[in-house]
Amino acid sequence: MRVAGLMSGTSVDGVDVAVVDITKQKINLLAFDVFPYPNTLRREILRLCRPESARLDNICHYNFVLGEVFADAIIKLCSKSGIPLNSIDLVGSHGQTIYHNPRGKCYSKTKIRSTLQIGEPSVIAHRTGITTVADFRPRDMAAGGEGAPLVPYADYILFGRNRSSRAVQNIGGIANVTFLPRFCKQDDIVAFDTGPGNMVIDGIIRLISGNRQRVDSGGKIAAQGTANKRLLNEMLRHPFLKRRPPKSTGREEFGHSFSSRLYKQAAEKGIANADIVATVTAFTAKSIAWAYHEFLPAIPDEVILCGGGSRNNTLVEMLRSELPNAKMLSTDDFSISVDAKEAASFAILAWATIKGLNNNVPGVTGADRPVIMGKIIPA
Amino acid sequence: MRVAGLMSGTSVDGVDVAVVDITKQKINLLAFDVFPYPNTLRREILRLCRPESARLDNICHYNFVLGEVFADAIIKLCSKSGIPLNSIDLVGSHGQTIYHNPRGKCYSKTKIRSTLQIGEPSVIAHRTGITTVADFRPRDMAAGGEGAPLVPYADYILFGRNRSSRAVQNIGGIANVTFLPRFCKQDDIVAFDTGPGNMVIDGIIRLISGNRQRVDSGGKIAAQGTANKRLLNEMLRHPFLKRRPPKSTGREEFGHSFSSRLYKQAAEKGIANADIVATVTAFTAKSIAWAYHEFLPAIPDEVILCGGGSRNNTLVEMLRSELPNAKMLSTDDFSISVDAKEAASFAILAWATIKGLNNNVPGVTGADRPVIMGKIIPA
């Protein structure tokens, strides 16, 4: 089965599209690209994400607009990569989250969890002529789950059922792990956020470059510095690291205000810029390793990296020395590029929906039971 | 196939639930009831229908709340009517429209039509354990249609393919007709709003009773009066009646301000209250008959009435004398009560979705082509 996966994240930068072939033996990535949103569209969507600025008429309108944008992205990717559109059997679309309330709000004494993704899948199905599965989160929440994370199921399909134990370590803004014990069953999956991914590193890079630079490309700046032991040890006392899973974090804990405070503190101590970058890079590596030692059932035989952070060589080297007994791999080694993995995950989730397979992981989301997530829109 | 249909209309009074058995030969209504919304819920939903008062967090929350309310309604109807919940194969839910923009709004030079219904179907599917089809309108709009009306397809399934030509005449607040020529094919369906249904009659009843009475029950008041010819002729010059189909109308044209103006005018002329009611009842009957004469391909052999207005005997008698060659029936004669017909229609639409049948009527909605409307949520 040939499936296209679509993902648009909370940063609202653009839509990721991956096309994969799914067979019993293997999942093959055929094509991948990111289609950035025009600036005006990005601003409009960001306005839809805040109750203070989101208007009903705009929610309704941009739901259909994003449907068109998502469909266009699939059509463009097919055209530039030479994949015939009509060779695709299925589309899986995460949509764009504009509101998510996993804790819930009471209605007549019952706690009601809710979530809202836009990017009308009826438009995707109509424009592409391909059956589309979308809106995965609501069903897990109806079953009492938090509707997140969803990717561990795809990690399990991609990398589970193996004679080695594996950790799929995504290093995006936030870092999260999916642990798959050897010969893993769906019930055995453990997944949670380990702490910051690139978020603190990127934050510091922006501060020291006066916003001229956004990332420490390849970890080159960190490689020139040395981690400051005292600052590092202070950072490692962050309460999030000690919290037991299931746990998740975000910009509230490791965003701009965290980086600013840290930068100020380091500058006061007279720590050189490259050393600050080396320190936060070490902090990121150590927070991941700490999570493995504290909260995983075992140190995995293999760590499979994905997300932009897996291209930060200094970070990867530090992680390697923190976890000397784990073989350090990336999704590239399984012919799924580290950037394409998330979009590919929604292709896999949609494939499961169509096959009638339960595609949530109750042990991870907190749902009462396994359910089939997703709404099917016939072509 | 046993299917439950759910409908919640623009008046936001409550949710209608119908359970029907669909066989090749016949569609049988097994149970029907209306579950009124608590006042506080009704007020909250009405706030969600206006861009000025709708908040993102509330849209997200009440989408899931209404899903729970809809699921409860099905479970209660089954329980009180002795239908085992697990004997129902499918649910079809229209949802609650909170925004509908059939004319569309431009995005990057393309006109984008959009619509938004709430009442999360993932919650319905989860609570009832029944596969649910919902969100019919978006697909027709993706195909360039207005996403309305949807009921003509159900009228066609229920009453088409007959050796007589038929008009299914719904008399709700607004009156609308579905014309089905003899041996009707889906392309032959003609449907549009004929003008006011009960809206003007109810408006006048409220005004003359000082809001103590809401309807002319059975048409008793109208029966005591005589239509005022001059006033009636003036009313029949209303521009909506002359407009060519496809056309639709609503409160903007025949709501409170229309009734108030009319009542004032009639009172100034010294027309007695019962005569005013008789006049607006005659106006309603004549506007329906006018539409048949002007805009239907032929006067139908049979008129099948449904909606609350079909219980207004005076109105029905007037319609009978306006259309002397048409046999006057109601959906009751086909064992589907006049109140249950709309909810039953969404059971039929869902049945078509699951069977892979195109269930829009392009000639009526303006869509480019026939499509399968509805999103399928596996049980």
> Are B377 and A139 a contacting pair at CB < 8 A?
yes
> Are B63 and A107 a contacting pair at CB < 8 A?
no
**A144 phi-psi bin (left φ>0, alpha ψ -120 to 50, beta other):** left
pLDDT value at position A244? Answer: 92
On whether residue B334 sits in a domain, the answer given is no
Whether a cis peptide bond, with omega within 30° of 0, leads into B149 is yes
Share of chain A above pLDDT 70, in %: 100
Q: Do residues B170 and B260 both lie within one domain?
A: yes
Q: How far B57 CA lies from chain A's nearest CA (Å)?
A: 6
Q: Do residues B164 and B299 both lie within one domain?
A: yes
- Which residues of A fall within a CB distance of 8 Å from B150? none
Write the DSSP assignment of B54-107 as a string of letters. --HHHHHHHHHHHHHHHHHHHHHHHHHHT--GGG--EEEEEEEEEEEEEEEEEE
> Are A120 and B138 a contacting pair at CB < 8 A?
yes
Interface test with B, best of A40, A43, A45, A56 (most B CBs within 10 A): A56
> Are B48 and A61 a contacting pair at CB < 8 A?
no
Q: A187: how many CB neighbours lie within 10 A of its CB?
A: 9
On whether residue B333 sits in a domain, the answer given is no
Q: Which pTM was predicted?
A: 0.94
pLDDT value at position B106? Answer: 97
> Are B63 and A114 a contacting pair at CB < 8 A?
yes
Task: State the amino acid at position B305 in one-letter form.
Answer: L
> Are A135 and B122 a contacting pair at CB < 8 A?
yes
Query: Which positions 35-74 of B are in contact with A (Cβ < 8 Å)?
Result: 48-51, 54-57, 59-61, 63-65, 67-68
Across the A/B interface, how many CB contacts are shorter than 8 Å?
141
> Are B126 and A139 a contacting pair at CB < 8 A?
yes
> Are A377 and B378 a contacting pair at CB < 8 A?
no
Residue B107, chain A, CB below 8 Å: the answer is yes
pLDDT value at position B292? Answer: 98
Q: pLDDT grade, residue A252 (50/70/90)?
A: confident
**CB of A340 closer than 8 Å to CB of A16:** yes
On whether residue A334 sits in a domain, the answer given is no
- Which residues of A fall within a CB distance of 8 Å from B374? 378
Question: DSSP letter at A49?
Answer: T
Angstrom distance (rounded) from CA B154 to CA B107 = 33
The H or E element containing residue B143 is: none
On whether residue B330 sits in a domain, the answer given is no
Q: Do residues A192 and A111 both lie within one domain?
A: no
Q: Do residues B295 and B252 both lie within one domain?
A: yes
On whether residue A333 sits in a domain, the answer given is no
Residue A98's contacts (CB-CB under 8 Å, 6 or more residues apart) are A45, A48, A49, A54, A59, A116, A117, A118, B56
> Are B139 and A377 a contacting pair at CB < 8 A?
yes
Residue A279's contacts (CB-CB under 8 Å, 6 or more residues apart) are A225, A227, A228, A231, A232, A235, A266, A271
Residue with tokens 């003609």: B190
pLDDT value at position B10? Answer: 83
Q: pLDDT grade, residue A250 (50/70/90)?
A: confident
pLDDT value at position B252? Answer: 85
Angstrom distance (rounded) from CA B329 to CA B300 = 12
> Are A138 and B120 a contacting pair at CB < 8 A?
yes
On whether residue A335 sits in a domain, the answer given is no
Q: How far A81 CA lies from chain B's nearest CA (Å)?
A: 26
Query: Which positions 131-190 of B are in contact with A (Cβ < 8 Å)?
Result: 135, 138-139, 141-143
Q: Do residues B253 and B120 both lie within one domain?
A: no
Q: How far A345 CA lies from chain B's nearest CA (Å)?
A: 20
Which region among A7-11, A72-76, A165-169, B239-243 has the lowest average model confidence (pLDDT)?
A: A7-11
On whether residue B307 sits in a domain, the answer given is yes
Q: Do residues B30 and B71 both lie within one domain?
A: yes
CATH of the domain at A176: 3.30.420.40
Angstrom distance (rounded) from CA A279 to CA A273 = 10
- Which residues of A fall within a CB distance of 8 Å from B107? 61, 65, 68
Question: DSSP letter at A324?
Answer: T
Residue B368, chain A, CB below 8 Å: the answer is no
Angstrom distance (rounded) from CA B125 to CA B350 = 13
Alpha-carbon torsion, ordered A328, A331, A332, A335, to 10 deg: 130
Closest-CA residue in chain A for B367?
Answer: A126
> Are B378 and A378 a contacting pair at CB < 8 A?
no
Among residues A287, A282, A277, A293, the alpha carbon closest in space to that of A318 is found at A282
Query: Mean pLDDT over residues A301-308, rounded?
Result: 96
Q: Do residues B286 and B174 both lie within one domain?
A: yes
**CB of A137 closer than 8 Å to CB of B126:** no
Closest-CA residue in chain A for B58?
Answer: A51
Question: Residue B101: which domain range?
Answer: 2-147+339-377
Per-residue buried b or exposed e for A224-261, using 16+ beta carbons within 10 Å of the residue's own CB: ebebbeebeeebeebebbeeebbebbeeebbbeebbee
How many angstroms from the chain centroid is the CA of residue A87? Answer: 28
Residue-wise pLDDT for A189-231, tens only, equals: 999 999 999 999 999 999 999 999 999 999 999 999 999 999 9
Angstrom distance (rounded) from CA B100 to CA B117 = 9
Closest-CA residue in chain B for A67?
Answer: B142
> Are B56 and A48 a contacting pair at CB < 8 A?
yes
On whether residue A36 sits in a domain, the answer given is yes
Residue with tokens 């069953």: A185
- Which residues of A fall within a CB distance of 8 Å from B65? 107, 112
**CB of B78 closer than 8 Å to CB of B127:** no
Q: Tell me the sheet residues that pair with A193.
A: A176
Query: Which positions 341-360 of A are in contact with B (Cβ < 8 Å)?
Result: 353, 356
Q: Do residues B114 and B253 both lie within one domain?
A: no
Q: How many domains does chain A have?
A: 2
Q: How far B372 CA lies from chain A's nearest CA (Å)?
A: 7
pLDDT value at position B246? Answer: 85
Angstrom distance (rounded) from CA A51 to CA A116 = 12
> Are A60 and B123 a contacting pair at CB < 8 A?
no
Domain boundary (B325, B352, B369) is at B325
Q: Which of B60, B114, B135 sits opposite A99 (nearest CB)?
A: B60
Q: Which of A51, A112, A115 sits opposite B55 (nearest CB)?
A: A51
> Are B63 and A123 a contacting pair at CB < 8 A?
no
Residue B241's contacts (CB-CB under 8 Å, 6 or more residues apart) are B195, B287, B290, B291
ipTM: 0.94
- Average pLDDT over chain A, rounded to an integer: 96
Question: DSSP letter at B162?
Answer: -
- Which residues of B fall within a CB distance of 8 Å from A101? 57, 60-61
Domain boundary (B282, B298, B325) is at B325
pLDDT value at position B215? Answer: 93
Q: Do residues A304 and A353 both lie within one domain?
A: no
Q: Beginning with the edge strand found earlier in the chain, give each strand of the sheet holding A174-180 in spatial order.
A: A190-196, A174-180, A166-171, A302-306, A327-330
Q: Do residues B166 and B285 both lie within one domain?
A: yes
Angstrom distance (rounded) from CA B127 to CA A138 = 13
pLDDT value at position B88? Answer: 98
Closest-CA residue in chain A for B55?
Answer: A51
Query: Mean pLDDT over residues A276-286, rounded?
Result: 98
| Strands B110-118 vs B90-107: parallel, antiparallel or unpaired | antiparallel
The H or E element containing residue B138 is: helix B137-142
> Are B120 and A127 a contacting pair at CB < 8 A?
no
Domain boundary (B283, B301, B325) is at B325
Angstrom distance (rounded) from CA A143 to CA A373 = 10
Residue with tokens 């999360």: B120
Q: Do residues B233 and B369 both lie within one domain?
A: no
Q: Do residues A130 and A165 both lie within one domain?
A: no
Query: What Rg do the C-alpha atoms of chain B give, in angstroms?
Result: 21
> Are B378 and A376 a contacting pair at CB < 8 A?
yes
Taking every pair of Cα atoms in chain B, the longest distance, rounded to a whole number of angstroms, is 62
Q: Which residues of chain B have pLDDT under 50?
A: none
Q: Beginning with the edge strand found earlier in the chain, give each strand of the sheet holding B166-171 in spatial order.
A: B190-196, B174-180, B166-171, B302-306, B327-330
Query: What Rg do the C-alpha atoms of chain A give, in angstroms?
Result: 21
The H or E element containing residue B29 is: strand B27-36
Residue A248 has pLDDT above 90, yes or no: no
Give the 3-state DSSP-derived string for A246-313, with helices as H, strands as E and coil as C. Answer: CCCCCHHHHCHHHHHHHHHHHHHCCCCHHHHHHHHHHHHHHHHHHHHHHHCCCCCCEEEEECHHHHCH
